[in-house]
Copies of this chain bind each other. A is one copy, B any other.
Amino acid sequence: MQEMSRRSGFSEATLRYYERIGLLGPVDRDPGSGHRQFGAATVDRVDALACLRSSGMGVEGMRRYVALLGQGDEAATELRELFEGQSEHLAAEVERLRVRHEYLTLKARLWQAREHGDPDTEAASILRLKEVLRRF
């Protein structure tokens, strides 16, 4: 369980929740302890779900993905489109986050300049911040 959580980035609570609402399909249990035994197919599915979730897909979308999976190769076109769409979505998100990362770095530099009383670096940081803000 712990390992699955680390691998996927989902919390243990989230994985239990996903199983409960049917996103994971049937999950085997250890007969003695009742602990979950995630099979290879479930691991693969959770990998995909983790990427889809990261790309902004919600629970309903993931339900749709699971439903398409159940149709196998018949749904190949829809599955391709689904992954293409989320891939583009995530690419755009990554780009936005890169800009915001630059902003945060510059803000750190700005406050460092103020911390040490360095007006030149401060002014330069402010200028570069304005550049970055244009890309918002």
List the interface of chain A (C-beta within 8 A of B).
7, 9, 47-48, 50-52, 54-55, 73, 76-77, 79-80, 83-84, 86-87, 90-91, 93-94, 96-98, 100-101, 103-105, 107-108, 111-112, 114-115, 133, 136
Contact = CB atoms under 8 A, between A and B. Distances in A.
B115 A101 contact: no
A104 B87 contact: yes
Nearest to A43: B133
B51 A115 contact: no
22 contacts: A7-B136, A50-B100, A51-B100, A51-B103, A52-B104, A54-B97, A54-B100, A76-B111, A76-B115, A77-B111, A79-B111, A80-B112, A80-B115, A83-B107, A84-B108, A87-B101, A87-B104, A87-B107, A90-B100, A91-B101, A94-B94, A94-B98
A61 to B, nearest CB: 13
A97 B97 contact: yes
A133 B47 contact: yes
Contacts of A86: 104
A55 B91 contact: no
